[in-house]
Amino acid sequence: MIDGAVPLPVEKSGAGRVRRAHLRQWLLSPPVLILSVLVLCAIFAPLLAPHDPTTPVPAEKLLPPSREHWFGTDPYGMDIFSRVLYAARIDLSVAITSVLLGILVGMPLGAFSGFVRGRFDEVMMRITEIMQAFPPILFAMAVIAAAGNNLVNLTLILAFLNVPVYLKMVRSVTLPLQESDFILAARCGGHSTLSLVGRHIIPNTLVPVFSQFSLSCAYAVQMVAGLSFIGLGVRVPQPEWGSMISLGASFIIFGKWWPAVFPGLAVFLTAYSLNALGHRLRRIVLRET
């Protein structure tokens, strides 16, 4: 007891209530809804697709949208709607996986680098500069030419492009933290440098990383589609939005717009919703901190 005073009582924290109300409003916003639909399509593609996405049916080539084929058929006679659904799996999973890999490598390196400074930091900075000096498309072309045209390579290339982004971001968030009192306090409590970085630095960098995540995914989706468009991504007949657009592009002048437009719409909606989500997250996150 202090001065005979009663232990201070707890007041109901209103902050939790506010956060929950925010969350609800946020979950029902257009970007989140669109993204959820896309993710569900990707997951449940086998159940939702009315036709086989990879077996060519020459007799049915280039049919316009109808009740049988909602998005029409492509030059090989395959149902575009089914292909768009299956393609979602590839585009989304490659994009998300590559960004996650980039974070997994970039975040701890960035945090450690920003915390210990010195030679390790200098070396890391030079490495990221070299990594970022590569023009992305040329780099992708070189790797695919050397190692082959498959999904794994695609994912690794995109991960490589993401590592320096997250490394630098996490490092810049770490730099001011290094001086703070709570780090000093943690040292007094017996933390080693490694455990300090893991327990105290990295959790404090999660917030900006989180808000950057969906922006990176939007970029990755566009990269996957773009690379496939120029022939470096997935091979026919695997369904993938970019290669579908590429295939369908030459038919637009013949008035057959559906093979290119529908996958294009899918890319657009994915990129838009990821971007919008990212911006909303940034606003919420920056306002609350």
Q: Which is it for the CA torsion 228, 229, 232, 237, positive or negative?
A: positive
Taking CB under 8 A as the rule, does residue 58 contact another protein? no
Q: Which of 101, 186, 261, 284 binds another protein (CB under 8 A)?
A: 186
Q: Please, are residues 269 and 34 in contact by the beta-carbon 8 Å criterion?
A: yes
Q: CA dist 127 to 9, 96, 115, 194, 231, Å?
A: 53, 24, 17, 22, 29
Q: Is residue 13 a contact point for another protein (CB under 8 A)?
A: yes
Q: Please, which residue, 118 or 189, has the CB nearer to another protein?
A: 189
Q: Measured between alpha carbons, how far is 32 from 274 in angstroms, rounded to an integer?
A: 8
Using CB under 8 A, which of the segments 45-53, 139-147, 159-167, 179-187 binds another protein? 179-187
Give the sign of the dihedral formed by CA 95, CA 155, CA 163, CA 180: positive
Q: Which stretch binds another protein (CB under 8 A): 7-15, 117-125, 147-155, 262-270?
A: 7-15
182 binds another protein (CB under 8 A): yes
185 binds another protein (CB under 8 A): yes
Crossing angle of helices 258-288 and 30-43, rounded to 10°? 130
Q: Which is nearer to another protein, 16 or 58 (CB)?
A: 16
Task: Please identify, using beta-carbon distances, which residue of 101 and 177 lies nearer to another protein.
Answer: 177
* Contact assessment for residue 193 and residue 109, using Cβ atoms and an 8 Å cutoff: no
**Site size for another protein (CB under 8 A):** 31
Interacting positions 188-227 with another protein (CB under 8 A): 188-191, 199-200, 203-204, 206
Alpha carbon of residue 75 to chain centroid: 31
Among 67, 181, 253, 255, binds another protein (CB under 8 A): 181
Tell me if 88 sits within 8 A of 267, measured CB to CB.
no
* Chosen residue from 126, 187, 235, 283 binding another protein by CB under 8 A: 187
Task: Give SS3 for 24.
Answer: helix
176 or 255: CB nearest another protein: 176
CB of 115 to another protein, least distance (A): 14
15 near another protein, rule: CB under 8 A: yes
Is the separation of the CB atoms in 114 and 175 below 8 Å? yes
| CA–CA dist 35, 28 (Å, integer) | 11
- The structure tokens listed for 100 are 């996650």
Name the amino acid, one letter, at 33.
L
137 lines the binding site for another protein (CB under 8 A): no
Half-sphere exposure at residue 143, Cβ-oriented, CA atoms within 13 angstroms:
20
CB of 169 to another protein, least distance (A): 17
Q: Residue 148 or residue 190: which is nearer to another protein going by CB?
A: 190
User: What residues line the site for another protein (CB under 8 A)?
Assistant: 1-3, 5-11, 13-15, 18, 21, 180-182, 184-191, 199-200, 203-204, 206
